[in-house]
Amino acid sequence: MQGAQRGTRSWVSRITPWAESGAKPLSHPGCHESCFCQWWQSLHRTMLRGVLGKTFRLVGYTIQYGCIAHCAFEYVGGVVMCSGPSMEPTIQNSDIVFAENLSRHFYGIQRGDIVIAKSPSDPKSNICKRVIGLEGDKILTSSPSDFFKSHNYVPTGHVWLEGDNLQNSTDSRYYGPIPYGLIRGRIFFKIWPLSDFGFLRDSPNGHRFSDD
Amino acid sequence: MIFSGSLATALKIECIVEQTYGQWWQSLHRTMLRGVLGKTFRLVGYTIQYGCIAHCAFEYVGGVVMCSGPSMEPTIQNSDIVFAENLSRHFYGIQRGDIVIAKSPSDPKSNICKRVIGLEGDKILTSSPSDFFKSHNYVPTGHVWLEGDNLQNSTDSRYYGPIPYGLIRGRIFFKIWPLSDFGFLRDSPNGHRFSDD
């Protein structure tokens, strides 16, 4: 055994020192064919360890950058594609917008903001509506054709959402105010189509905000 | 000749001064500033990297949580330390009887820790046991009905109604501290609440 250099050698060569020196292996139980042993060692040393090592490194880098990308999307913002007619004419079907997630974490969502939230009736999907009222606001809940107007107060920790396309939108008029904890981000900029590039317009239903 | 000699000397001195100054600036730049700045950037880079990985681990796998409040006694006492896993929430595997952590519907900055009594579509008995006429409610789609184990001292769905599934953050399944109560958590002491016929 080359005891003087044991520390610098890998465990493979420590177990089978005769392979490194190129000498013929001594007969020992479990290794009847010297060619097979040498082939196995070369396979192990060059291919398997290289492939396994590369695979682990690839998986490690993927997890690392996946986590960083996920945190960037969740804490800073990202690009979102909206679908559905409930926010027309502000956001059309298949528009691509830019959403930021900082306002949610700093509790800076205000009336008139367009927000993305988890749907209260389906946790797997997201909804995209405008914030009409914050907690404590008085919301007109009766339809304009009613004779007696009815108001509701938004409870603490909730927001009242409505789509800009009031005739074709399932929003808080249907499922009530939603908890603030469901809000995921705020949409503030449209990227596509280029004909509508820029910051998003105010609500076309401006009269909804003045509840006296 | 003398003029050119002194000029040459002046130029030489100037060159030497510039060289010395240049060398000093370069050595400063190379050793101190770049070292300090480089180290700072590397430190910030590593902090962001491992912070993101830790955050994703807590959010997608699980973590240690300290509970406070009396609403889950005797299952979870005040200041107990429990282990919560977040995989069930992402795979929509929360079931009746699970103890969950959720964002509070009345205060988005705080979390609540209650037991799931009913899932969407279940019929919940909402009248108190002393009422003569019993009233039932159905849990709407996408919502869950939460109640604390300590029914006399718990603000839960009997007060603020069913909460959307999207507020659930994780499931508590194991208690770490105190060591006298180490292990998986017990079933609800209010077992009769689950059988709504």
Q: Which pLDDT tens digit goes with each residue over A46-61?
A: 777 788 888 989 998 8
A22 closest CA partner among A4, A43, A41, A5:
A41
With bands split at pLDDT 50, 70 and 90, how would you rate the model's confidence at B1? low
- Complex ipTM above 0.90? no
Closest in B52, B107, B108 to A68, CB measured: B52
Label the pairing between strands B163-164 and B168-177.
unpaired
**Chain A residues within an 8 Å CB radius of B165:** 123
- CA dist., res. A152 & res. B28, Å (int): 68
Q: How many residues are there in chain B?
A: 197
Q: By the 8 A CB rule, do B117 and B136 touch?
A: no
Closest in A64, A124, A157 to B104, CB measured: A157
For residues A6-14, average pLDDT: 52
Cβ under 8 Å to A: B residues 153-182: 163-167
Q: How far apart are the first and last CA of chain A?
A: 94
Strand, helix or coil for residue B128: coil
Both tokens of residue A71?
């945190």
Label the pairing between strands B143-147 and B163-164.
antiparallel
Among chain B residues, CA nearest to A155? B106
**Chain B residues within an 8 Å CB radius of A120:** 142-143, 164, 166
- CA dist., res. A40 & res. A19, Å (int): 11
Q: By the 8 A CB rule, do A80 and A98 touch?
A: yes
Check whether the bond before B162 is cis (ω within 30° of 0): no
B59 Cβ contact partners less than 8 Å away, ≥ 6 residues apart: B86
Identified catalytic residue from A129, A169, A172, A190? A129
Q: Does B140 touch chain A (CB under 8 A)?
A: yes
Buried b (16+ CB within 10 A) or exposed e, B100-112: bbbbbbbebeebb
What pLDDT, on a 0 to 100 scale, did the predictor assign at position A1?
Answer: 43
What pLDDT, on a 0 to 100 scale, did the predictor assign at position A207?
Answer: 59
- CA dist., res. B99 & res. B76, Å (int): 10
Q: By the 8 A CB rule, do A103 and A188 touch?
A: no
Q: Does B142 touch chain A (CB under 8 A)?
A: yes
Strand, helix or coil for residue A141: coil
Asked whether the predicted pLDDT for residue B68 surpasses 90, the reply is no
Which CATH number, 3.30.930.10, 2.10.109.10, 2.40.30.10, 3.40.50.460, labels domain B64-193?
A: 2.10.109.10
Report field, pTM of the whole predicted structure over 0.95: no
B137 Cβ contact partners less than 8 Å away, ≥ 6 residues apart: B123, B124, B126
Cross-strand bridge partners of residue B138: B123
Give the count of alpha carbons within 13 A of A195, CB side only.
3
Give the ranges where chain A is alpha helix by DSSP (H).
11-15, 17-21, 34-42, 49-75, 102-105, 172-175
pLDDT in tens, A159-197: 999 998 888 889 898 888 999 999 999 998 898 888 888
Q: Residue B31: what residue type?
A: T
- CA dist., res. B122 & res. B139, Å (int): 6
Question: Rounded to whole angstroms, what are the CA distances from A134 to A103, A115, A158, A165, A178?
Answer: 14, 13, 7, 20, 10
pLDDT in tens, A60-119: 889 888 888 888 888 888 888 888 888 888 888 888 899 998 888 888 898 999 999 999
**Which run of H or of E encompasses B149?**
none
Q: Residue B125: what residue type?
A: L
**Chain B residues within an 8 Å CB radius of A66:** 56
A43 Cβ contact partners less than 8 Å away, ≥ 6 residues apart: none
Question: Rounded to whole angstroms, what are the CA distances from A126 to A81, A120, A149, B75, B168?
Answer: 11, 9, 31, 35, 16
With bands split at pLDDT 50, 70 and 90, how would you rate the model's confidence at A3? very low
